[in-house]
Structure 1
Amino acid sequence: MSWVELAPAMLENEHVLLRPVTAADRESLRAIALDPEIWRYFVSLVETDADYDRYFDATLADHVAGRRVVFHITDKHSGRAAGSMSYGNLAEADARIEIGWSWLGRDFRGQGLNRWAKYLLLEHAFERLAAERVEFKTDELNVQARAALRNIGAVEEGILRSFNYMPGGRRRDAVFYSVLRAEWPEVKRQLAAAPKVRLGAG
């Protein structure tokens, strides 16, 4: 089976449930998405309900077409929709995949959900998809996201200058990070050894 078939799986642990997004998720995610802090460093800008509908329609279209594998995140402690995260840039021939398009609602930041969601996606990528490289990228200015990526064990590789346009016309410098197959056992050990409490922004 190809990655497009294997990647959209249901992934869960005691903290989070990740499942492929569906059209029925529009409203549960809308309830937490209209927060400007989410979109501060995003390549999409969501300020109104109409913006959100365009964003969700594009996300769902990418998912259905196999351009991305988009996951709905549920916080298992509350049972509420918490946000979304995706696989993208699926380069199966090169055994390379990206994790990104990540956002969480205000109530779910600083609770460890980012850490556990990325743990599940890394585990799925290395142990079921047989990826050799999982990569991430973020805005050079996004200090919080960069710290979170280092906290999950990703290695900073460098900056691609003037990588893309941001809303408002700024050219973003993109910082790339990765975890390699050889590094995964140690990264997994460190992530799994995290205290079984709701951690800070890791």
Structure 2
Amino acid sequence: MDGFEWFYRPGMSAGFIPTNDGQVCVWIGLPTLTSGMMRSLDRTFTDTLDRAAPEARERLARAERVGRLFAFPGEVGYQRQPCGPGWALVGDASHFKDPLSTHGITDALRDAEFLADAICEAGAGPASEAAAFRTYHATRNHLSDGLFRATDALAGYDWHISEVPGLLKGLAAAMKEELDVLAQRDWHGRHAA
């Protein structure tokens, strides 16, 4: 597998994410996960995958499962205050959105980098610490807002199938903006070209 594959059908989704050692994370998404679905997770997974990604049926029949299934029953996304005097948060501790975005670890690494900048800038004293952390907070929110909107729209499953390409373009545009900001950074004295 050379890249991510996502599949959308009304009220459901599925995807393949290459990981390491030639393995692939295969996932499904549904608007709700009932207790009955949780009790029969294998059947729920197989049935949903078969309906959401029928074009992948042949490939999946040849695949070998190497781990157990994990279920995520859903959680409302949030953005917390990411810092204060003597403390700071990154990753899911700072903010969370549905895993359908496949962007969680990227958020954590991105925010850790911006937090490190804030900590370095805060060395001049309390006034500079407050300003540096305000900048970190504003940057985190700015880069997360578009990702939140696009992810919430997709994960809410309140879309018509014809809207999915536009929603995915919105997600891609938010990621591109994030990449543009990161590309402009001075990476430890090395300037982006």
- Taking structure 2 as the reference length, the TM-score comes to 0.26
Larger Rg: 2
- Taking structure 1 as the reference length, the TM-score comes to 0.26
